[in-house]
Amino acid sequence: MTEVLPIETPDALKDPTWWRHAVVYQIYPRSFADADGDGLGDIPGVVSRVDYLASLGIDAVWLSPFYPSALADGGYDVADYRNVDPRLGTLEDFDRMVAELHARGIRVIVDIVPNHTSDLHEWFQEALAAGRGSAARERYIFREGTGPDGAEPPTDWLSVFGGPAWHRVEDGQWYFHNFAKEQPDLNWDHSEVREDFLKTLRFWSDRGVDGFRIDVAHMLTKDLTEPLPSREELTLIPIDGNHPLIDRDDVHEIYAEWRQLFNSYDPPRTAVAEAWVASHRVPRYASPESLGQSFNFDLLEADFDAAQFRRIVTENLALAAESGSSSTWVLSNHDVVRHATRYGLPPEPADSTSHTRHGGDWLISGGDEALLDRERGARRAKAATLFMLALPGSTYLYQGEELGLHEVADIPEEERQDPTFFRTGGAEIGRDGCRVPLPWTADGPSFGFGASGAHLPQPAWFSQYAVDAQDGDPASTLSLYRRTLSLRHELQAAEELEWIETGRDDVLRFRRPGGWQVVTNFGTEPYDLTDLPGDAHVVLSSGGPAGSSVPGETTVWIAPVR
Ligand code: NOJ
């Protein structure tokens, strides 16, 4: 049913400011829903669940990569940017998904991975075949090695996933890869690379896609003038816009060009940067001349702690004001331990070297149940989520958090997929535990994920978290998310937030326009609510009914009577 391109955005979805306060639900396509029963989630699977997505009350979905890929890094190794992995469907399926979501008022954001391609991408295959000194190698970062016969890598740099950042090819040259060796970095000084990504952005925009999430947006441009610094020298270079590898000012020349392309559509396509940069550098990515919005991962990195949460909110609202963007908030995604689990674990030691944020050490120890307080984690997660959803700005939710899902710790070694696990010889357990396929039904094969198995093993306890076990139960986490998202539309009428002092260092309270108030009790002692004006009352609680006090580890929303 391919429509004539470019596909028109439905009139109901033309508000150009929608992204400022949107709730975006992240779908990790290979683990969402499997329509053809091959164990791998797919695009028809998403189509089969559009009513579920609509029932959540979200504004948009963001799909992690669904492109052809050998899955060396869960799809972030893209072999063809303008296609759908045949195991996940076809472009026609994609068009159908966009139409079905749009018909339900849900926008679509896709993931763009511009820092590196898959080693199976036709450009890289061409580069390997063409040999040293060829034009084809110019699109990547090839160098001669050092030492006798060039048998040593050009530098001692490490990849983000562990191990060396250079890999030697058959003819003896080396190529640079910030991530896995199957993810060679592109050379963004090359005009063909720039032109090809413009083509890709146009391709998806023409298919009706509403926005883009830009993978490692702070790494694209590099200054690899010889002599290259050593790893140690690299750490001494300030990251102030001129660092050879990270957060260079010149990356915004690329995004300025992309912005022109985005703005040529009606409504303009949106973009959000995945940029792990110092706070004061975030506004560059979020400015209207650049990508327009940037992820803020501060809450995701914080403990369940009032002082940390307050500082993060204040800082990020100021940063958003500086760029003219709105802030983003996120507690879970496909790269970190789920927040229900993080909050149920003892705080990670300050000297932990684990990259699997908060919970990495617990995972490495085999997910010791004695250390995890599941109920407490779930209680705090709901409190943190209701706090986050009451903040001005847009919120990114990760599939399964609306079910209160915990991390899956006990994935057998032979079933692990994350390159981090392999590249660190198991020292880093990796991110598979948050990517286990969703439970839709309490029984049946793969808990309703598909007709047969799931590509990562699902634990027996998934049964009690299944969608059909929670649907219709007013006390379930799923019902709480639905209620919260429906009320949020009223609360987000404007973007202001004003703190109300509580006299307690473990209780945060703030006012939103229209007479709304939100209280989060991070401690365990109840917080008295006797000072409410007569016409205000609690309309939402993360922890069951709240009367004249807010119980420990609970958030309430207070509405004025109209
Ligand atoms: C960030 C993505 O979120 C992560 O999953 C991926 O491994 C890296 N970028 C590399 O593309």
Which pair of tokens denotes residue 457? 């093993």
Contacts of 260 (CB under 8 A, 6+ apart): none
User: What's the rounded Cα separation, in Å, for the pair 456 and 90?
Assistant: 23
Coil, helix or strand at residue 558 = strand
Residue nearest to atom 5 of ligand 1 (CA): 335
Pocket, ligand 1, Cβ cutoff 6 A: 73, 76, 113, 179, 215-216, 274, 334-335
Task: Quick: pLDDT tens for 180-238.
Answer: 999 999 999 999 999 999 999 999 999 999 999 999 999 999 999 999 999 999 999 99
Query: What global pTM score does this model have?
Result: 0.97
In the beta sheet, which residues pair with residue 61?
A: 25, 108
Which residue is it, tokens 């004539």?
4
Confidence bin at 1 (pLDDT 50/70/90): low
User: What's the rounded Cα separation, in Å, for the pair 31 and 397?
Assistant: 15
Residue 2: predicted pLDDT: 54
Query: Which is more confident, 354 or 59?
Result: 59
Question: Could you tell me whether strands 527-528 and 549-550 are parallel, antiparallel, or unpaired per DSSP bridges?
Answer: antiparallel
Contacts of 393 (CB under 8 A, 6+ apart): 20, 21, 316, 317, 320, 326, 327, 328, 329, 495
Residue 279: predicted pLDDT: 93
Across 113-158, where does the E strand assignment appear?
A: 142-143
Task: Quick: pLDDT tens for 239-292.
Answer: 999 999 999 999 999 999 999 999 999 999 999 999 999 999 999 999 999 999
Task: Quick: pLDDT tens for 486-517.
Answer: 999 988 878 899 999 999 999 999 999 999 99
Mutate to test the pocket of ligand 1, among 67, 69, 76, 185 (most ligand atoms within 8 A of CB): 76
Cα(107) to centroid(ligand 1), Å = 22
Which pair of tokens denotes residue 90? 């076809």
Which of ligand 1's atoms lies nearest the C-alpha of 115? 11
Q: Are 24 and 62 in contact (CB under 8 A)?
A: yes
Closest alpha carbon to 124 in 195, 88, 173: 173
Within 10 angstroms of residue 18's Cβ, the number of other Cβ atoms is 17
Question: What size, in residues, is the chain?
Answer: 562
Confidence bin at 350 (pLDDT 50/70/90): low
DSSP per-residue codes, 202-238: HHHHHTT--EEEETTTTSS----PSSPPPHHHHHHS-
Supply the CATH classification number for the domain 495-560: 2.60.40.1180
User: What's the rounded Cα separation, in Å, for the pair 258 and 277?
Assistant: 20
Coil, helix or strand at residue 512 = strand
Cα(368) to centroid(ligand 1), Å = 27
Residue 547: predicted pLDDT: 74
Q: Are 383 and 520 in contact (CB under 8 A)?
A: yes
Which residue is it, tokens 């050593």?
230
Residue nearest to atom 6 of ligand 1 (CA): 76
DSSP per-residue codes, 463-525: GGG-HHHHTT-TTSHHHHHHHHHHHHHHHTTS---EE---S-TTEEEEEETTTEEEEEE-SSS
User: What's the rounded Cα separation, in Å, for the pair 250 and 309?
Assistant: 33
Cα(133) to centroid(ligand 1), Å = 30
Which of ligand 1's atoms lies nearest the C-alpha of 334? 5
Task: Quick: pLDDT tens for 92-146.
Answer: 999 999 999 999 999 999 999 999 999 999 999 999 999 999 999 999 999 999 9
Residue 183: predicted pLDDT: 98
Residue nearest to atom 2 of ligand 1 (CA): 215
Question: Could you tell me whether strands 498-499 and 507-512 are parallel, antiparallel, or unpaired per DSSP bridges?
Answer: antiparallel
Q: Are 91 and 151 in contact (CB under 8 A)?
A: no
Residue 67: predicted pLDDT: 98
Residue 544: predicted pLDDT: 73
Which pair of tokens denotes residue 385? 């989520």
Classify domain 11-114+191-485 by CATH architecture.
Alpha-Beta Barrel (3.20)
In the beta sheet, which residues pair with residue 560?
A: 536
Measure the CA angle with vertex 47, ends 45 and 49; round to 5°: 75
Please determine, for residue 355, whether its predicted confidence score (pLDDT) is greater than 70. no
Please determine, for residue 521, whether its predicted confidence score (pLDDT) is greater than 80. yes
Cα(15) to centroid(ligand 1), Å = 30
Cα(560) to centroid(ligand 1), Å = 43
Which pair of tokens denotes residue 257? 């060009």
User: What's the rounded Cα separation, in Å, for the pair 171 and 117?
Assistant: 21
Cα(346) to centroid(ligand 1), Å = 27
Query: Does the structural domain 122-176 have CATH classification 3.40.50.261?
Result: no
Please determine, for residue 322, whether its predicted confidence score (pLDDT) is greater than 70. yes
Query: Domains of the chain: which residue ranges?
Result: 11-114+191-485, 122-176, 495-560
